[in-house]
Amino acid sequence: MANKPLNATELEDLVRRLHRLAHNLWWTWDQGAQDLFQELSPRGWQNLYHNAVAILREVSDYELRVRLQDIEFAERVLQVLRRFEAYLERADTWAALHAPQFAQRPVAYFSAEFGFHETLPIAAGGLGVLAGDHAKSASDLGLGFVGVSLFYREGYFMQAFNEENWQTEYYSRLDPRNLPLDRVLDPRGEPLVGSLRIAASTVSFQAWRVNVGRCPVFLLDTDLPAIEPHYRDLTLRVYGGDSTTRIMQEILLGVEASVLLRARLPAGVFHLNEGHAAFLTLELAREKIAAGMTFEEALAATRQECLFTTHTPVEAGHDRFSSDLVQYAAHKFSLQLNLSHEQLMALGRVRPEDPHEPFCMTVLALKLSRAANGVSELHGEVSRRMWQCLYPGRPVEDVPIGHVTNGVHLLGWMKGGVRRFWRGKLHRALSNGATGAHVDAGHLWADAANSPEFWAAVSDPSFVSDEELWALRYELRRQLIEFTRRRLLLQDARLTRTAFIEHDHLLNPDALTIGFARRFATYKRATLILNHFDRILRLAHDPRRPVQFIFAGKAHPRDDEGKRLIQNILHLSKHSDLRGHLVFIENYDVHVARQMVSGCDVWLNNPRRPLEASGTSGMKAAIHGCLNFSILDGWWREGYDGTNGFAIGDDSHPDQVLEQDRRDGEHLFHTLTEDIIPSFFQRDAQGIPRQWIRRIRRSFATLVPRFNTWRMVQEYTTRYYLPSP
C-alpha cells in the first residue's frame, strides 16, 4: 500500500472486503483478524460476544472509513484480507490431492447442532462443537463439504441461579442482522421460502447460510410470520419442547434440508452425525421409488450413500418415539413409501414384530447406512455390544460398527496469547535457519500447527525453554483467575467497593488449579472429588502447596439430579471453608470453556466408565499445556501413555456402580496427593518444576498432533467418505 491515505475507490473496496470477512467464520481462528475487530471497539468486542458482524454494526460506516485512513491500521487490514483471500483460493490442499471428487459432489453432513463460536450460540454441547470443528477442518483441508442444521432463534438456554443456588433457565433471542449469517435466496434474488408436510399441516421455512472458511453450512428456520405459532416456534430452541417438537424438528432436518441442499449442490455422500437426521434416509428412498425402483432396491441404494456416527453409549441419548406419535407426525412416510404404518415402524425397531417397541432413530440410521462408527476405540466396542441385537447370529466383534476418535480444531480452540506464542516460536526458528521445527517456511501457520513435526520440536529445550513454558503457564493461569473474578462479581451482582476488594482475593495465582467443566449429567460425577471433603479442605489450605478448584457447566433443564450436583458445589463455594478455593462459573459456553482449558493446570474428567463416548475438552486443555487427569474412558484411554498426564485407575471398571464410584474416588485422591501435587510443587533452585514441564512437553508431542480434527476428517475421508476400492 502507498504511504498515503486511501482514495474513495480504495476505501469502498476495503470496506466491502472487510464485511465479507466478518461474514465468514474464518476470523474465529485467525488471531490477526480478531485483533482488527477488537481494535475497532474494544468494549464492544467484550460485550458483544467477540462478534465481528456486531462490531461492524456498532461502528458506523463513516467511522469505519475514517479509521481506515490510519495508514498503519489500513495496512494491517489489508494483510489480514490478503491472508483470508489466499486461504479461500488455495489450490494445493490435502483434499485436492486425496479426495478431489468431493469438490463437485461434496460430503453432506447433517447434525442437529453446530457449535462454531460464542457469536452463534446454537449448540447444546459437545456434539455440536464437534460438528463445528469438523466443518472448520474440512475447510482447512479443502474438502468438499456442506453442513446442514437448524437455526435456533433462542439457541440453548442461558443459566442463572436463584437464592437457593438452584439452576434457572432463560433465553435470549438472536438477531440475524448481528450474526455471521447470509439469507439463502431463490433464483429471483428473493428470500428462499420452502414448505413441508408435518402431521396435518403445511409448514413454511426459510434458510440461512453460514460461511465456515470454504465450507457452507445451511440452517433451516421456521420463524416466519405467516405460519401458526406452534410451527413458527419449531426451530426456537435447541432440543426444545417435548417429543412432538423433537420429531418435527427431525423431520425438518432430515427431509427438507436434504431437498434444499440437493437442489443447490448434489452430494457425494451423506454423513449423519447422530440419529437426529435419520429421516433423511427415508427421503432418499422415496426419491428412488419415485424414479422407478422397488422398495428393496431403494433401501439398498440409499445404504450406499449414507454413513452414520453414533455418539452415546447412554440409552437415554437415543431418540425414541411412540407408535402414535410417528403415526401423527410422520405418517407421510407411509404414504410416500407405500408402506403400512407397522412396516414403517419396523424400520426403526430392533424387533420389527414387536408392536410395543418404539421407533428408534439410531436403529433407522444403522439399518440404512453403509457404515457406522463410534467416536473412540472403547466407544466402538461398547456400541458393538449395545447394538449386537440388530445383527443376530454375529459375534460382537463382527458387528459392523467401527470407530473414528474425535478431535478438536486446534487454531479454533487455541487462545490468542498461545497462538502468538507458538507462531512467534515457529517464525523465530525459521528465520534463524533452525531445523528443529521441521516445517517448510512456505507452509502456512495452520499447516505447521497441525503437523506432528512441529509439536515434536516442542520436546527440544532449544526450541522452547522450560522457563518460557512456565512463564506461559503462569500468564494463562493469571488470565483465568482474573476472568473468574470478574465473572463472579457479575454473578453476585454486588457492585460495592467491598465486593470488588473481596472478589479480588478469590483464588490464588500460585495454587495448583484444577478445572472441571462439562454437561452436568449424573454419570459424569462432577462432585466425585468432593466426596473426600475433609481431605480436600486440608489440601486447599496447605500454605506451601495450595490447591483450588474451578467448576462450570449446565444441567439439562429437566435434569433435577444434575441441578442438585451444581447446587451442592455452589453451596460449598459460598458457605464452607472451601470459600475462595472453590468457585463455580455460571452460564458455561465456548468463551468460558476457552478460558478454563487454557488457564487450569489440571483438567479433571471422571465419568463412570464406559459412558464417556469420547470427550474433547481434555484435548482442548492439552493445546495449552494443561495436563489431563482422567478415567481411562473415551479418548484418554487411547491418549494416555503414562508420561503425558495422569490416569484415575486402570483400564478396567467394576460392574457395580457403587463399587466403581468408591474405587475411582480412592484412585483419584491417591493420584492427586501422591503424584500430581508433589510433581507440580517440586521446584529447582530457579523455581522451575522440571518434572511437571516434562509432562507438558510429552502432552504437546503425543496428544496435540493426534487428537485434532485435521486427523479426524482425513480419517473419515479415507475410511468412510471415499468409495471402497
3-state DSSP of 477-533: HHHHHHHHHHHHHHHHCCCCHHHHHHHCCCCCCCCEEEEEECCCCHHHCCCHHHHHH
- Provide the residue type at 276 as one letter: H
Q: Is residue 441's pLDDT more than 50? A: no
User: Residue 22 CB: number of other CB atoms within 10 A?
Assistant: 20
The beta strands (E) that lie in 274-403 are given as 306-309, 320-321, 359-360, 371-374, 402-403
Cα–Cα distance, 360 to 320 (Å, whole number)? 4
- Provide the residue type at 496 as one letter: T
Give the pLDDT of residue 221: 93
Cα–Cα distance, 407 to 54 (Å, whole number)? 30
- For the chain, the average pLDDT equals 92
To the nearest whole percent, how much of the chain has pLDDT over 70?
95
User: What is the separation, in whole angstroms, between the first and last Cα of the chain?
Assistant: 52
Mean pLDDT calculated for residue range 265-275: 91
Strand pairing of 182-183 and 201-212? antiparallel
Give the pLDDT of residue 99: 97
Q: Which residue has better confidence, 162 or 725? A: 162
pLDDT band per the 50, 70, 90 thresholds, residue 442: very low
Burial of 161 (0-12, 13-18, 19+ CB in 10 A): middle
Q: Is residue 723's pLDDT more than 70? A: yes
Q: What is the DSSP letter of 358?
A: P
Mean pLDDT calculated for residue range 229-251: 90
Strand, helix or coil at 436? coil
What angle, 0 to 180 degrees and rounded to 10, lies between the N-to-C axes of helices 279-290 and 257-264? 60
Task: Check: CB of residue 307 under 8 Å from CB of residue 271.
Answer: yes
How far is CA 463 from each of CA 419, 457, 473, rounded to the nearest angstrom?
16, 7, 17
Q: Which secondary structure element, helix H or strand E, spans residue 217, and what is its range? A: strand 215-221
Cα–Cα distance, 371 to 724 (Å, whole number)? 11
Cell of 499: 465486593
CATH superfamily ID and name for 94-160+167-403: Glycogen Phosphorylase B; (3.40.50.2000)
Q: Which residue has better confidence, 675 or 48? A: 675
**Domain layout of the chain by residue ranges:** 8-89, 94-160+167-403, 477-689
Question: How confident is the model over 539-548, as pLDDT tens digits?
Answer: 999 999 999 9
Residue 377's closest CA among 399, 405, 400, 397?
A: 405
What angle, 0 to 180 degrees and rounded to 10, lies between the N-to-C axes of helices 279-290 and 295-305? 130
Cell of 160: 442463572
Compute the chain's Rg from CA coordinates.
26
Strand pairing of 547-552 and 582-585? parallel
Give the pLDDT of residue 86: 94
Place of cell 444403522: 366
Give the pLDDT of residue 229: 81
Torsion of CA 479, 483, 484, 488, to 10 degrees: 160
Cα–Cα distance, 252 to 246 (Å, whole number)? 10
Mean pLDDT calculated for residue range 203-224: 94
Give the pLDDT of residue 492: 73
Sign, CA torsion 433/434/435/441: negative
Give, in degrees to the nearest 5, the angle at Cα 43 between 41 and 48. 90
Say which range, 87-91, 204-208, 339-343, 424-428, has the weakest mean pLDDT.
Answer: 424-428
Same fold, 94-160+167-403 and 477-689: yes
How far is CA 527 from each of CA 95, 408, 514, 522, 661, rounded to the nearest angstrom?
44, 26, 13, 9, 11
Q: What are the start-end ranges of the H helices in 175-322?
A: 229-232, 243-251, 257-264, 279-290, 295-305
Give, in degrees to the nearest 5, the angle at Cα 272 between 271 and 274. 145
Mean pLDDT calculated for residue range 92-118: 96
Give the pLDDT of residue 435: 44
Backbone angle region of 634, left / alpha / beta, with phi > 0 → left and psi within -120 to 50 → alpha? left
Q: Is residue 185's pLDDT more than 50? A: yes
Cell of 364: 433407522
pLDDT band per the 50, 70, 90 thresholds, residue 433: low
Task: Check: CB of residue 182 under 8 Å from CB of residue 213.
Answer: no
Question: How confident is the model over 498-540, as pLDDT tens digits?
Answer: 555 566 678 999 999 999 999 999 999 999 999 989 999 999 9
Cell of 417: 496469547
pLDDT band per the 50, 70, 90 thresholds, residue 200: confident
pLDDT band per the 50, 70, 90 thresholds, residue 317: confident
Backbone φ and ψ for 235, nearest 5 degrees, come out as -105, 30
Mean pLDDT calculated for residue range 154-169: 94
Place of cell 460438528: 131
Of the candidate CATH numbers 3.40.1280.10, 3.50.50.60, 1.10.1740.10, 3.40.50.2000, the domain formed by 477-689 belongs to 3.40.50.2000
Mean pLDDT calculated for residue range 30-40: 96
User: Residue 494 CB: number of other CB atoms within 10 A?
Assistant: 12
Q: What are the start-end ranges of the H helices in 525-610?
A: 533-540, 560-575, 590-599
Place of cell 447370529: 393
Q: Is residue 574's pLDDT more than 70? A: yes
Give the pLDDT of residue 725: 59
Q: Which of 11-15, 190-194, 201-205, 261-265 has the highest mean pLDDT?
A: 11-15
Which residues lie across from 215 on neighbouring strands?
Answer: 212
Question: How confident is the model over 382-399, as pLDDT tens digits?
Answer: 999 999 999 998 999 999
Cell of 513: 488449579
Cα–Cα distance, 529 to 259 (Å, whole number)? 49
Cell of 162: 436463584
Cell of 129: 462443537
Task: Check: CB of residue 220 under 8 Å from CB of residue 134.
Answer: no
Say which range, 30-39, 151-160, 232-241, 624-633, has the weakest mean pLDDT.
Answer: 232-241
Question: How confident is the model over 581-595, as pLDDT tens digits?
Answer: 999 999 999 999 999
Give the pLDDT of residue 259: 73
What are the strands of the beta sheet with 602-605, ordered from one edge? 582-585, 547-552, 512-517, 602-605, 627-631, 646-648
Residue 414's closest CA among 215, 645, 709, 46?
A: 709
Say which range, 63-67, 93-97, 297-301, 331-335, has the weakest mean pLDDT.
Answer: 331-335
Give the pLDDT of residue 500: 52
Give the pLDDT of residue 440: 40
